[in-house]
Structure 1
Amino acid sequence: MKVFVVGIGLIGGSFAIDIKAAFNEAEIYGVDRSEENLNKALELGVIDQKATLPEIEKAAIVIIAIPVDATVSIINEVLDRVSDNCLVFDVGSTKKKLCEMVASHDKRRNYLAAHPIAGTEFSGPQAAIANLYRGKTNIVCEVEKTAFKLQEKGMEIFSRLGMRIRYMDPVSHDRHIAYVSHLSHISSFMLGKTVIEKEKNERDIFDMAGSGFASTVRLAKSSPDMWAPIFKHNKENVIETLQEYIANLTQFKELMEKDDFDEIYKEMKDTNHIKTILKGIS
């Protein structure tokens, strides 16, 4: 089974590692615009061979794990090149624009729109880890537009990697993910920016930062190359979530100004319900 992974970073590399472990017959080919990434992935054993985009005509599986704007720019070329029996799936954090892009392609049936909710703040092939996807949710969009035999092929991969499947339409996916993922990253980036700008002496930050700050700002270490295109593609939903978030921050500030700490306590107490909602999520 020839598996071509386009984009050998954390996400693509982790797929490569787990597929090699789960499928004895899998041969992993890496495609990446960075020769350094390819060489590193080969050195680490993440991939078996380096490859180029034209070679995907011999692929049984193509996994596209590059920034969403780059995926949109190459998805039709990928579908043009693959065989009729090849499954192509991406792992991007936005789905509406991509699904629209492939809607009229002759090989739309070969494409499965997927989004595994997994990752870390690190990037590059050296960040790839085994079992990244085990126990994680994988959102699949427009599954009915993928050929049934290719659906089965994709679901077997997801199952062996230990993922839970959730089906959703692309519009709902992009709206919901703006709240639970995209807003979290913006909050982390802006918290980091605020502290850096306020604390000109960086030693003060490092000396006083506790685990709470470190965990809250962790996502600010994420790659702008990946996240700027996500915000661009999901602009309308991200702006809506920001408006609601800013309104809550403004309300909190106003309560502080009025010395209404009883209401602040109530707001925090009510929000503690999130512990129940997120129980069991690591």
Structure 2
Amino acid sequence: MTANPALDETYAVSAFTPGGSHRVSPPLVRAGGKGLNVARVAHQLGAPVLAVATCGGLTGERCREDLLGSGIPHRLVPVTAATRRTMAFVDSTSGLTSIFNETGLPLTSAQWQELERQVDAAMSGASVVVGSGSLPPGAPAGFYPDLVHAAAGRDIPCIIDASGADLVRAAEAGAFALKPNQHELREATGEEDLRRAARSLLDAGARTVFLSCGEAGLLAFSATDPDHYLHARLGRTLTGNPTGAGDAAVAAVAVTLAAGSRDTARMLRLAAACSSAAVLMPAAGEIPSSYRSLQEQITITSHHDRTASAVLEEN
């Protein structure tokens, strides 16, 4: 589920110079935003998916057309506000990607109610629920917590990938899994030490926290054993576009849960492989078949009574 989807535009540039003029080829354009990226990767992994999102204006129609062409099952709630755009500029010289994300436009109360109704209907028969991405301005503070509670009422695990107060609220609602990156985690909790920051979300009510740390890999913290955490990493750097790496990790966790496994290490291994593989693709929302071989190359280590921050500094 994504309340704030986007029409993603990815540009390839030979060198990105701030303040400069750049001549570029037409961008790769597709329906995106974090939730749709998750659905796209899960679909590629062979899992049955149903993407629920809003859709407005000409950009929304382009998103609808792309989803139809991609064969991804979806329910789109019509809204008056045009679907936002995101722009990624991939610099082939530096290897860096610059991203510009529009914030999106507010929804009406009736549109929020219809979105919630469609999400509730989509839960029938679901084995896992994912709420992913930013929310439009003026979103109800309880939107993600309500999603968590609705899923829990059906005994369905719920994954939330959000930031700021929405991340903390989802933890307090008892989300099965949260998936921030290290910057989002520190900002949301006010804790610089990553282990204490993740522990605060577990103490608030989250059952698992999967933490994206860029090239340093992925960490996993579990409420069942809060004094330990797992660290998964590939051990080498893959160059490319990292825009959708976190979304690929969320999709991997969701697919593992949907297959009936709640083994944290198993979820973490696939998540680390998929997020690493996603970097090799030109745009967010897809992974190459090489993710299978990357799974075998992922190293997972267990840590106790050390800060996650220290582990990252050592690598």
The TM tier, using the shorter chain, reads: 0.3 to 0.5
Greater percentage in helix: 1
Q: Which is higher, the Rg of structure 1 or of structure 2?
A: 1
Greater percentage in strand: 2
**TM-score, reference length from structure 1:** 0.38
